[in-house]
Chains A and B, each alone.
Chain A
């Protein structure tokens, strides 16, 4: 039995555990060097959680696109197959394989940027200087429309090298332009804020209004106005223009709509203006997207905080409850042990007085108590848990004929 050890005052000091207090801060159970592992685990968990969120986002997008687009695609397919059948039936001297060959060649040509319909002789090239300039611009800004792309080996190798050097260069430029844009807008907002301060509006409101103003003004200048211009010059619908603006300025650049890519006669300064708009619009979109990213970050931070708080509270609560439980158990076990000792002592005295009566059958009471002895010092100053001389275990009297034998399994901590 470990009990004799506990009565030893020397071992008392080795068994003390830190007392847990009811503090508002999260309680760290373990020692300090576990802290790093806890925060590292949380970071990985955060990243994994966000990653799963992205995958979920992608899957949602995929199902929505599929639901929206597949019917449209099937109807297009049906129409074009009908066209083919009609064509073949109307012009019976053409057989299917010849037509397929022609179509294949035409498709390849289109991919190369050559339009076979119309008059191929007087067309402008896709690789004259201004179009090449535009193409180089799409490569460097990583938009990459793809309506024009290099087809020679040399062109492709050069494209790789060109992009390697050009993308960081454009990054520098974008940083500078964004900076200037920010300064200009900041000065304007400062003036507006001065006005607001006179009216005693709170700081947060000013900030919020300035952000909203920034977004609206930028939208007007870089999205709405160009969309109108494209709608008029290129002949697209409103939705298509806005779609083109967003897809271009986020540098996705599908290439299904390209400003300056159709067969229309453009004014000379149209393409350079488009290029300039792309540059400034990219800076604006960078700001907007980073703002959205910040909001997402703040949301994730708040969620993380709340989750962290919740976990901290849960940990604290668990710690306190188990500490209380241990205390109670320890107190009880110590008292039971005390009572047991006294009972045994009395019994010995009685039996020695009574002489030869050792055979009294003592039915062992089948109650085992597992005790965690933690704090030896507490043993002395605890209130007794007895009433009318009988032992109380959690308020229940043990159903023993003899209150002697209660085996105690004691653990030293």
Chain B
């Protein structure tokens, strides 16, 4: 496994570094699927291939709210991350069957969607067997529209995660699969699936062009026993995995594990910095409509700073020499099903912000389809990891082998600060923390790099050229 996952940290999603307004818990968004005409059920989606049940973090909408296709309805916590689930249909959220905090097995109904207001009552009646339906609270209407734009991760999640039968289909993006109508699996994968009784329709392939190959089937089968057992047993009890069970690594986990262990051979150190993001937020607000994403902005800012500090963009592989990399390729860690991957924004210092944003979108789409070509995820010279969307204010990352440094980005949060003119004020600030290979990058290098980065972010006019 090449370097899927060479980054250590958790799923970072896109980089919306900033938790948007209030609610700290961020969410990513996949989608949900209803069934049934008129009154449709909203199912607990399978957000990853290993997910057997999901916990309702919060309902974004309340009973009675009108839903538009594509809107986020609920935030679900899978075994990997929280994700927004959006509806595929217009209608009204008629009845919530699983309350916040509740757990439901994948595929079970968690809410009912009525096509018209009139049907809400019917739906409620229907749901009455299910859960009491009381409109749950956190409908922070502001947060749902969490910029789809800026949460690539979300997208990522979708990818990996077959959301429902239908969604699954969609996830198989092999060109010949005609959008999921056909299953593209290698001969041996088919054979194994039959033997191991694995349903290929639910699988996302890791082979070329998203093809399902033998190891995908094996991975599911290895995790599958557990999965099935849990599903049966657990309906609303403890979330998560079966305690005490031993679960073999999936291929991706194995790769991550190897990379992580390998990283121990590199002497690293960390330098942190707090950066005020008011100006960046303002800029983002201004150009968001042009398709610019926060991820691209951060990558761009980082790349411009790297251009001034080439040593931070260098890499040392043999311990005797190091390379000043000729291009600045910013890898951005993205959580995907069963692990994470680092799509690379190549020449991020040279490409303009709009192209960069489009490129990022394209990469995320490809990652979703598992169609990233190796050069699209293993050519990074510097890595960004962002957990800000989860409200994380600071963390540190493990250095991916083969690169010189990685930057962990926390959430941008309103903070009270003393300003230079002696007053106290509120500013949005985020903390970044760079982990670097001390064989080639020294403390002063990082310090200067961070200073440059801070000045770029605090005065972001250069980002748009």
A and B part of one assembly: no
Interface of A toward B, CB cutoff 8 Å:
none
